[in-house]
């Protein structure tokens, strides 16, 4: 190129320096437009990494799951379970079971699938590549937890085909039965073996907000989920599930300190979602009448932990709208925890399973322990309450009591909605202004984005809110 | 392509040698009109190709000619071409007369190339700077409104410093910017609307925050000489990918090169404008704050205005509870007149005053003022000239404490270093910014707090100057005084005092250019330009502000750097006497770089101390984006006499934003102009003075968004639509998550095909001029973020998926019905109609969101125009009739039913727009007015929906009235299926609180009922001016060359069916999501008086 330009310049009047300058400009500019200027690397964002290490993904997964499960994902079902009540705006509509496909879109796509679940999937893949089974085990426990939430709320959901990006832009749906019979056990079994692996190049540590890298606790959590998913199948599998649940429980949580929960922080970018809701949408959602009246009626010492009792504790009847007490400090303070699975839950599962096997002494003991453990969670010792409500015997224990105290002990957890659908306990009166002909919704509608962009795979006929999920046989 | 280019360069340089001489002719070319010398006149030897020169700055030329040359031809754009026999003379002076096709007939086309309009095969519209001078808009784009066919401008609001959205011939891109490229003196400038707020929240930040500027606001209108709008593909093809949406070519003023007493020109202009609020949604004044007809005052936190009739209420300070009188002074804390009770309540005393409806809106807005001062000096010698300008605009808005200011300095100069070489350069420094006020869907937003305020709550607390009296909006302990107790919605006076947003832009736009003309037929131009700015923003919310109760402060710094380089080689040759060739070859290199550094501190410790260090929680984000492009382009123009003009362009472009295998792309254009009045029979027509038919076809390509080809991790961030969410670093730990957007490594360029036909007809020696253009554009392979099923692990992916068409007609008619020595009257009518259709988006995708709210979003919907309002609506039967609930057990018995399915609610695109200007002159007095008509196009009046729900709108004054909705009876069964008998509805229902609080309002009702027609007819501009006569000046004040005094009114009259604020508004500002009104700042009407002085 240079030679050509030289020739060019010679042809013309060499004495004219401007001509030279122009010639040079032409040269420089034409060279510039060659590959060096248009360098594809320029199109790689210097502000965002294309890969990060496992210990930078885990914190986001845990916090993201805590935020979604502790917020958007659980609001509708805890309204329906009348622990909370919709006072105004969208929550009031939800309290009347009027939940649209658009209302559940964010929680599905940003809250779960393209959110923490996608990153759990990335962690599982990356942990394999980096020969780090400990990370994989943790990711698998969290994936089993998350997959459980989505299948319990929606029924058939994508998993085996999910998270693949271009590999499957429209993932097929797995039957809930298959998820329960194959996927969840496989995930948890694999987690149990990975968490016990002798060597792991990388292992979680302080990046693990939940257990600080304590793998024995993750192992307990894996068993706790095994117990949970076993007991979910009471209606489908009958008595056979009780032994599975009881076996799993022996390896699950042994104290409140083992609970699988996420603790939020004091800074405003770290705040518990329910706190944020009460702060940023005051008056839209308040305490539910059924729960508050029950706690008052029982003189339940957990009342001031569940309910903001400033100005007296009142609850709002389902679907009526209005005003009532705000959420209590234990669950709606900036740094409040979001509980995914707990020792209390295990004790009540144990009680339910033993009761199902007609082992009433064990059931009664587990029940009493469950109530006591729940109180202990808040540091409460209340002899009178325990005498009245946690002193069951083989003769007095009943399934209704077990499920009722589980309903109180697992406050604000999606699990109470699962229990209610299985056992119809506690007995709740549907909102009179409900839109489902006097019924409480038994599932979330499939979200808009799946209907539009994955229409060919979404189950058909597409279930309506009153349709039961697979394990909710009756 | 590169080889070809080189070949041409070689050929061009070879051509330079063919110069030989035998005899020299010299002379001077002057204007027949005023005798001034005309530089730049082309002088050629007739019949001998390759012999010619141009006149210098003094109009002098010197040309060596072979002995056989008999005639010289003198031509200059805008002047009549003259051919002169030289005989034996060695000196030929000549006067050139202005051509009947006057100035303005020469337009600046792509890359600054000047062309006669008659030679163009595409439509170009030109606007002289004088048309902008008296309008005095802070944002110069607003001054173009209504003046150019096919150009739609939407001023986002009346807030000081707010943005204006501009669009030419409809939208061409789904996800990208749809605004034209703005080029000043050959240098493209940045016209971004950079918004603030946590970058994790993306465009959601636009629903809240403040009204931002688009960066065209930095242009000083007084510097503008001329604006040319290049609309279609053939007109803009040479600019390449950045010109896909048209180009606004701005030429700035230059110093003139005159000698003697006229060696310099000083011009000074000053004006003051007064802004008034133009239109507000009407509020009810009959009912008090409360619910179910009972008073429920501020201390309860109740937000509703469903209380008792104000007429029946009395003030009292008897029987206050501690909650009502915290300081124990016996006076109700929220109203010094007391609480409200019924008139027969025992607490009513003899001194009790009647309850009143306060005029919160009327009291709040003030008269805004704008001071505009500009001074410029231009001058020069025959070898060089310069232009220096200084301007300042200072605006106080109609909203207290809302300000905008702009100071510009510009210097430009040109020097003829040798007879063949001219260098020029300019530097323009701008400082702009102001104090902006919170708006939109924002608990601290101004209008949100203001129009939700019940009639019985006095935001000002009775103070005459509440803006400057903290006791109006603040209790002694620092807590906020608002109609909902201590906040929840901010008191507007709190908003304007306690929530500040300040931006400070420092910008430098500069260019250098060199023009080398070795021989008369060849010109080489090199131009290097840069546009650099920093935009530093600081925002804070005091502790107790509703949007951030714990207080917030953020610093948001944007830095932008655009560099553009053009090399243009142009050769003009007369191939024969009749056929002329005009060949251009060029190279363009462009780089853009933008960096944003955002640091947010939340939870402030020390009140009224707004430093990041005062925050307990800090979030910071850094973003960068960089792109480079390079191009080689060429243009070949052929003309046959003045009859046929044929033009071809080609441009090959490389862009870094595309994958390597797809990053080189070529696009061509062709245009034809046929001046049929040059044909024998028509040539002498007295009626049709000029007639041209034109046709063009062009393909333009557009590249991909920056950084769209890879997958990334982003700092952890979650937000669920209910709350602000969580972000990393979290608990002192950093964390990342996979981006929701799936990159695409096989993107290819977008393709924009445009076809245009037009005609340019002039009658009766240009007394009537008609220009008609028809265009049909088809844009294919448009890149957009295609939504995905979340279960794929991503929520969207970039794809070349969409197709969109724009078809339209533009008509410009100028007529001079009356023209006498002292009198004239000119009418200019612009009419344009554009029909946009989103033909396809992506397989399986029938709509994508552009911005807005859940339930009322602006989307691109297949089969509909770009910018569809999409959301919840009423259930209708198969005949489109409203279905009225016939289930007596339903609380909404007798009322329409809300559908859970979202649907198309209307298009924001107008059917047509028209601007009609009438200009009259009587001696030295000028009078003109511009009527602007917009027909069709919808707007979502979200503000009204909320006012209805809360009971503050005028409509709710008729609360309790019975009505029978027109429709058919029916209901939804348990499965959600429609059951209707088709029988006409006869069930009466009451439009009461339960209706407006529920289905009939914006909290819970379908958004479709608040989609309104946004048609308008407005008096956009009216100007009366008086120019002091030359004679008077020459006699009395010799040093004054001109004096012009004027009055201008803007928007003085507006007729619209829209029930909210001025429907020329948009919450999202200058972005693709047009048509959203949700507590936007109201528009203004403006009165300006000004003076322009020339020395």
Q: Give mean pLDDT, residues B524-536.
A: 96
Nearest beta carbon to residue B789 from set A51, A280, A454: A454
Residue B383 CB neighbour total at 10 angstroms: 16
pLDDT at res. B222: 92
Q: Give mean pLDDT, residues B369-379.
A: 94
Tokens 């962009």 found at:
A453
Tokens 């805008």 found at:
B78
Is there a contact between B702 and B777 (Cβ–Cβ < 8 Å)? Answer: no
B38 against B644, higher pLDDT:
B644
Min Cα–Cα distance to chain A from B744, Å: 9
B380 against B458, higher pLDDT:
B458
- The residue in chain B having the minimum alpha-carbon distance to the alpha carbon of residue A174 is B791
Q: Give mean pLDDT, residues A200-217.
A: 98
pLDDT at res. A4: 41
- Name the residue among B823, B829, B1047, B830 with its Cα closest to residue B920: B823
Interface touch B793/A44, C-beta < 8 Å: no
* Distance separating alpha carbons of residues A62 and A72, to the nearest angstrom: 16
Condensed to tens digits (0 to 9), the pLDDT of residues B180-191 reads: 999 999 999 999
Q: How confident is the model at residue A102 (pLDDT cuts 50, 70, 90)?
A: confident
> Kind and range of the H or E element at A306?
helix A303-306
Examine the pLDDT at A447 and tell me if it is beyond 90: yes
Q: Is B110 helix (H, G, I), strand (E, B) or coil?
A: helix
Examine the pLDDT at A7 and tell me if it is beyond 50: no
Q: How confident is the model at residue B84 (pLDDT cuts 50, 70, 90)?
A: confident
Q: Is B28 helix (H, G, I), strand (E, B) or coil?
A: strand
- The residue in chain B having the minimum alpha-carbon distance to the alpha carbon of residue A30 is B587
Min Cα–Cα distance to chain A from B792, Å: 5
Examine the pLDDT at A435 and tell me if it is beyond 90: no
Is there a contact between A174 and A156 (Cβ–Cβ < 8 Å)? Answer: yes
Residue B102 CB neighbour total at 10 angstroms: 10
Which token pair is A366? 């587990």
Nearest beta carbon to residue A113 from set B13, B587, B793: B793
Chain A CB contacts of B706 under 8 Å are: 43, 45
- Name the percent of chain B lying above pLDDT 90: 72
Examine the pLDDT at A337 and tell me if it is beyond 60: yes
- Please state, rounded to an integer, the average pLDDT across all residues of chain B: 90
SS (H, E, C) B350-381: CCCCECCCCCHHHHHCCCEEEEEEEEEEEEEC
pLDDT at res. A188: 98
Q: Give mean pLDDT, residues B306-333.
A: 93
Chain B CB contacts of A450 under 8 Å are: 789-791
DSSP-derived letter for residue A175 is P
Interface touch B518/A19, C-beta < 8 Å: yes
Nearest beta carbon to residue B718 from set A8, A115, A267: A115
Nearest beta carbon to residue B710 from set A50, A282, A464: A50
Q: φ and ψ at B785, to 5 degrees?
A: -80, 105
Examine the pLDDT at A6 and tell me if it is beyond 70: no
- Name the percent of chain A lying above pLDDT 70: 93
Chain A CB contacts of B631 under 8 Å are: 33
Condensed to tens digits (0 to 9), the pLDDT of residues A362-404 reads: 999 999 999 999 999 999 999 999 999 999 999 999 999 999 9
Condensed to tens digits (0 to 9), the pLDDT of residues B1028-1061 reads: 877 777 777 777 888 999 999 999 999 999 999 9
pLDDT at res. A21: 58
Which token pair is A4? 């050509």
Is there a contact between B591 and B623 (Cβ–Cβ < 8 Å)? Answer: no
Min Cα–Cα distance to chain A from B846, Å: 8
Condensed to tens digits (0 to 9), the pLDDT of residues A67-85 reads: 999 999 999 999 999 999 9
Examine the pLDDT at B456 and tell me if it is beyond 80: yes
pLDDT at res. B946: 96
Is there a contact between A461 and A451 (Cβ–Cβ < 8 Å)? Answer: no
pLDDT at res. B724: 87
Is there a contact between A222 and A71 (Cβ–Cβ < 8 Å)? Answer: no
Condensed to tens digits (0 to 9), the pLDDT of residues A396-433 reads: 999 999 999 999 999 999 999 999 999 999 999 999 98
Examine the pLDDT at B14 and tell me if it is beyond 60: no
Condensed to tens digits (0 to 9), the pLDDT of residues B566-604 reads: 999 999 999 998 999 999 999 999 999 999 999 999 999
Q: φ and ψ at B851, to 5 degrees?
A: 150, 155
Q: What is the pTM of this model?
A: 0.86
Tokens 């845990």 found at:
A62
Q: Positive or negative CA dihedral for B276, B279, B285, B287?
A: negative
Condensed to tens digits (0 to 9), the pLDDT of residues B892-911 reads: 999 999 987 789 999 999 99
pLDDT at res. B487: 85
pLDDT at res. B21: 46
Chain A CB contacts of B841 under 8 Å are: none
> How many A×B Cβ pairs under 8 Å?
312
Q: What is the CA radius of gyration of chain B?
A: 32
pLDDT at res. A193: 98
Nearest beta carbon to residue B793 from set A75, A107, A164: A164
Interface touch B789/A277, C-beta < 8 Å: no
Is there a contact between B50 and B63 (Cβ–Cβ < 8 Å)? Answer: no
Examine the pLDDT at B205 and tell me if it is beyond 80: yes
Examine the pLDDT at A181 and tell me if it is beyond 70: yes
Which whole-number Å values give the CA distances from B120 to A473, B123, B624, B643, B763, in the listed order? 76, 7, 41, 12, 19
Q: How confident is the model at residue B103 (pLDDT cuts 50, 70, 90)?
A: very low
Cis before B467? omega within 30: no
Interface touch B900/A453, C-beta < 8 Å: no
Is there a contact between B651 and B631 (Cβ–Cβ < 8 Å)? Answer: yes
| Cα atoms in the Cβ-side hemisphere of radius 13 Å centred on A74 | 27
Is there a contact between A447 and A114 (Cβ–Cβ < 8 Å)? Answer: no
- Please state, rounded to an integer, the average pLDDT across all residues of chain A: 92
Interface touch A40/B659, C-beta < 8 Å: yes
**With b meaning 16 or more CB within 10 Å and e meaning fewer, what string describes B607-622?**
eeebeeebbebbbbbe
Condensed to tens digits (0 to 9), the pLDDT of residues B531-580 reads: 999 999 999 999 999 999 999 999 999 999 999 999 999 999 999 989 99
* Distance separating alpha carbons of residues B76 and B41, to the nearest angstrom: 5
* Distance separating alpha carbons of residues B132 and B146, to the nearest angstrom: 12
Condensed to tens digits (0 to 9), the pLDDT of residues A393-406 reads: 999 999 999 999 99
């Amino acid at each position: 190129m240079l030679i050509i330009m030289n020739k060019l310049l010679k042809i013309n009047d060499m004495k004219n320096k401007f001509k030279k300058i122009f010639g040079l400009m032409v040269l420089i500019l034409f060279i510039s437009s060659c590959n060096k200027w248009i360098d594809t690397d320029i199109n790689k964002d210097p502000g965002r990494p294309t890969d990060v290490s496992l210990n930078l993904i885990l914190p986001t997964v845990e916090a993201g799951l805590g935020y979604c499960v502790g917020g958007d994902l659980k609001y509708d079902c805890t309204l329906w379970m009348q622990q909370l009540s919709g006072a105004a705006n969208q929550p009031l509509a939800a309290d009347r079971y009027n939940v649209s496909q658009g209302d559940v879109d964010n929680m599905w796509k940003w809250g779960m699938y393209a959110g923490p679940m996608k990153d759990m999937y990335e962690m599982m893949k990356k942990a394999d590549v980096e020969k780090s089974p400990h990370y994989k085990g943790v990711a698998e426990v969290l994936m089993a937890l998350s997959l459980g939430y989505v299948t319990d709320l929606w029924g058939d959901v994508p998993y085996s085909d999910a998270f693949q990006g271009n590999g499957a832009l429209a993932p097929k749906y797995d039957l809930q039965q298959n998820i329960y019979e194959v996927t969840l056990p496989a995930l948890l079994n694999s987690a149990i073996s990975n968490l016990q692996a002798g060597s792991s190049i990388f292992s979680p540590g302080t990046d693990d907000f939940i257990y600080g890298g304590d793998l024995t606790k993750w192992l307990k959590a894996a068993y706790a989920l095994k117990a949970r998913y076993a007991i979910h199948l009471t209606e489908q599998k009958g008595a056979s599930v009780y032994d599975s649940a009881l076996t799993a429980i022996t390896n699950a949580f042994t104290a409140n300190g083992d609970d699988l929960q996420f603790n939020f922080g004091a800074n405003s970018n770290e705040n518990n979602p329910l706190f944020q809701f009460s702060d940023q949408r005051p008056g839209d959602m308040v305490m539910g009448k059924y729960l508050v009246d029950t706690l008052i009626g029982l003189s339940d010492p957990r009342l001031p932990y569940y309910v903001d009792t400033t100005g007296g504790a009142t609850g709002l009847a389902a679907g009526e709208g209005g005003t009532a007490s705000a959420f209590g400090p234990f669950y709606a303070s900036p740094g409040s925890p979001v509980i995914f699975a707990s020792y209390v839950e295990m004790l009540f599962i144990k009680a339910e399973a033993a009761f199902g096997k007609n082992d009433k002494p064990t059931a009664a003991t587990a029940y009493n322990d469950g109530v006591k453990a729940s109180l202990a969670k808040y540091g409460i010792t209340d002899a009178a309450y325990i005498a009245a409500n946690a002193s069951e015997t083989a003769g007095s224990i009943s399934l209704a009591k077990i499920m009722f105290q589980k309903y109180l002990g697992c406050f604000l957890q999606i699990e109470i909605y699962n229990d209610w659908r299985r056992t119809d306990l506690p007995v709740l009166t549907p909102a009179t202004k409900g839109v489902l002909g006097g019924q409480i919704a038994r599932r979330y509608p499939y979200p808009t984005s799946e209907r539009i962009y994955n229409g060919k795979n979404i189950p058909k006929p597409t279930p309506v809110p009153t349709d039961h999920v697979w394990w909710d046989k009756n | 392509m590169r080889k070809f280019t080189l070949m041409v360069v070689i050929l061009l340089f070879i051509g330079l040698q063919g110069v030989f001489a035998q005899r020299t002719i010299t002379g001077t070319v002057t204007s027949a009109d005023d005798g001034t010398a005309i530089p730049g006149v082309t002088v050629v030897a007739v019949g001998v190709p390759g012999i010619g020169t141009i006149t210098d700055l003094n109009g002098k030329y010197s040309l060596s000619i072979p002995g056989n040359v008999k005639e010289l031809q003198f031509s200059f754009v805008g002047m009549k071409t003259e051919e002169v026999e030289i005989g034996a003379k060695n000196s030929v002076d000549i006067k050139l007369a202005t051509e009947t096709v006057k100035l303005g007939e020469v337009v600046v086309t792509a890359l600054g190339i000047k062309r006669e309009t008659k030679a163009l095969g595409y439509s170009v519209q030109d606007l002289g700077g004088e048309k902008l001078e008296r309008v005095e808009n802070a944002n110069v784009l607003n001054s173009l409104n209504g003046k150019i066919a096919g150009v739609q401008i939407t001023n986002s609001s009346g807030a000081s410093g707010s943005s204006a959205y501009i669009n030419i011939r409809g939208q061409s891109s789904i996800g990208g910017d749809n605004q034209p490229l703005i080029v000043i003196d050959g240098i493209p400038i940045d016209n971004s609307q950079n918004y603030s707020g946590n970058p994790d929240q993306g465009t959601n930040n636009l629903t809240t925050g403040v009204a931002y500027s688009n960066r065209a606001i930095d242009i000083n209108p007084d510097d503008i000489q001329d604006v040319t709008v290049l609309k279609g593909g053939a007109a803009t093809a040479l600019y390449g990918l950045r010109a896909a949406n048209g180009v606004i070519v701005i030429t700035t003023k230059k110093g003139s090169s005159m000698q003697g007493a006229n060696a310099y020109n000083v011009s000074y202009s000053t004006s003051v404008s007064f802004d008034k609020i133009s239109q507000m949604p009407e509020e009810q004044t009959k009912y008090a704050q409360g619910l179910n007809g009972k008073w429920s005052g501020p201390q309860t936190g109740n937000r509703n205005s469903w209380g008792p009739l104000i007429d029946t209420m009395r003030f009292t300070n008897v029987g206050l509870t501690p909650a009502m009188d915290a300081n124990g002074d016996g006076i109700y804390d929220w109203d010094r007149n007391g609480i409200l009770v019924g008139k027969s309540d025992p607490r009513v005393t003899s001194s009790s005053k009647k309850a009143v409806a306060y005029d919160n809106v009327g009291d709040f807005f003030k008269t805004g003022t704008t001071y505009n001062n500009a001074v410029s000096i231009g001058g020069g010698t025959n070898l060089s000239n310069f232009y220096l300008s200084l301007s300042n605009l200072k605006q106080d808005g109609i909203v207290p404490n809302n300000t905008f200011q702009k100071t510009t300095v510009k210097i430009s100069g040109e020097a003829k270093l040798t007879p063949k070489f001219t260098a020029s350069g300019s530097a323009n420094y701008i400082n702009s910014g102001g104090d902006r006020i919170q708006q939109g869907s924002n608990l601290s937003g101004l209008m949100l707090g203001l129009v939700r305020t019940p009639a019985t709550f006095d935001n000002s607390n009775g103070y005459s100057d509440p803006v400057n009296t903290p006791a109006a909006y603040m209790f002694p302990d620092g807590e906020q005084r608002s109609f909902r107790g201590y906040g929840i919605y901010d008191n507007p006076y709190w908003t304007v005092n306690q929530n500040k947003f300040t931006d400070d832009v420092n910008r430098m736009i500069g260019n250098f250019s060199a023009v080398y003309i070795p021989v008369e037929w060849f010109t080489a131009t090199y131009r290097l330009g840069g546009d650099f700015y920093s935009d530093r923003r600081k925002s804070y919310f005091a502790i107790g502000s509703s949007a951030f109760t714990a207080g917030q402060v953020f610093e948001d710094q944007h830095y932008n750097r655009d560099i553009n380089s053009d090399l243009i080689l142009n050769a003009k040759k007369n191939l024969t006497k009749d056929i002329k060739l005009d060949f251009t070859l060029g190279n363009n290199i462009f780089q853009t770089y933008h960096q944003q550094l955002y640091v947010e501190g939340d939870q402030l410790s020390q009140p009224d101390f707004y430093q990041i260090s005062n925050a307990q929680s800090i979030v910071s984000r850094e973003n960068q984006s960089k792109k480079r492009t390079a191009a080689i382009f060429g243009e070949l123009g052929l003309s046959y006499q003045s009859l046929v003009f044929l033009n071809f362009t080609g441009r090959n472009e490389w862009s870094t934003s595309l994958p390597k295998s797809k990053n080189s792309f070529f696009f061509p254009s062709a245009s034809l102009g046929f001046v049929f009045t040059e044909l024998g029979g028509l040539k002498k027509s007295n009626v049709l003075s000029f007639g041209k038919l034109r046709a063009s076809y062009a393909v333009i390509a557009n590249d991909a968004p920056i950084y769209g080809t890879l997958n990334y991790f982003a700092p952890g961030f979650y937000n669920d639509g209910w709350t602000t969410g969580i972000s990393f670093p979290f608990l002192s730990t950093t964390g990342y998550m996979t981006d929701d957007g799936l990159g695409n490594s096989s993107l290819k360029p977008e393709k924009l095909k445009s076809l245009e036909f037009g005609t340019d007809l002039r009658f009766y020696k240009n007394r009537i001029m008609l220009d008609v253009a028809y265009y049909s554009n088809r844009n294919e392979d448009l890149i957009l973020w295609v939504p995905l099923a979340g279960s794929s692990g991503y929520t969207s992916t970039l794809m070349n998926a969409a197709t969109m068409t724009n078809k339209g007609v533009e008509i410009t008619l100028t007529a001079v019905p009356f023209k006498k020595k002292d009198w004239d009257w000119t009418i200019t009518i612009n009419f344009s109609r554009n029909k946009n259709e989103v033909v396809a988006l992506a397989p399986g995708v029938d709509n994508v969101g552009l911005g807005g709210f859940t339930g009322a979003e602006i989307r691109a919907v297949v089969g509909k125009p770009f910018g569809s309002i999409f959301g919840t609506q009423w259930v209708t039967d198969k005949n489109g009739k409203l279905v009225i609930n016939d289930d007596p057990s339903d609380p909404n018995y007798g009322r329409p039913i809300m559908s859970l399915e979202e649907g198309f609610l209307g298009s924001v695109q107008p059917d047509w727009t028209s601007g009609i200007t009438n200009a009259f002159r009587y001696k030295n007095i000028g009078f003109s007015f511009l009527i602007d008509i917009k027909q069709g196009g919808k707007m979502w009046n979200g503000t009204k929906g909320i006012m209805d729900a809360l009971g503050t709108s005028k409509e709710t004054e008729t609360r309790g009235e019975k009505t029978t909705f027109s429709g058919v009876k029916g209901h939804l069964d348990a499965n959600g299926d429609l059951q209707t008998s088709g029988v006409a509805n006869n069930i009466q229902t009451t439009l009461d609180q339960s209706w407006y609080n529920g289905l009939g309002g914006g909290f819970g009702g379908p958004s479709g009922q608040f989609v309104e027609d946004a048609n308008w007819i407005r008096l956009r501009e009216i100007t009366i001016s008086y120019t002091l006569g030359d004679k008077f000046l020459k006699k009395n004040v010799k040093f004054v060359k001109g004096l012009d005094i004027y009055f201008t009114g803007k928007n003085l009259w507006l007729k619209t069916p829209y029930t909210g604020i001025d429907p020329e508004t948009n919450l999202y500002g200058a972005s693709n999501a047009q048509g959203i009104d949700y507590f936007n700042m109201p528009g203004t009407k403006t009165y300006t008086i000004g003076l322009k002085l020339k020395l």
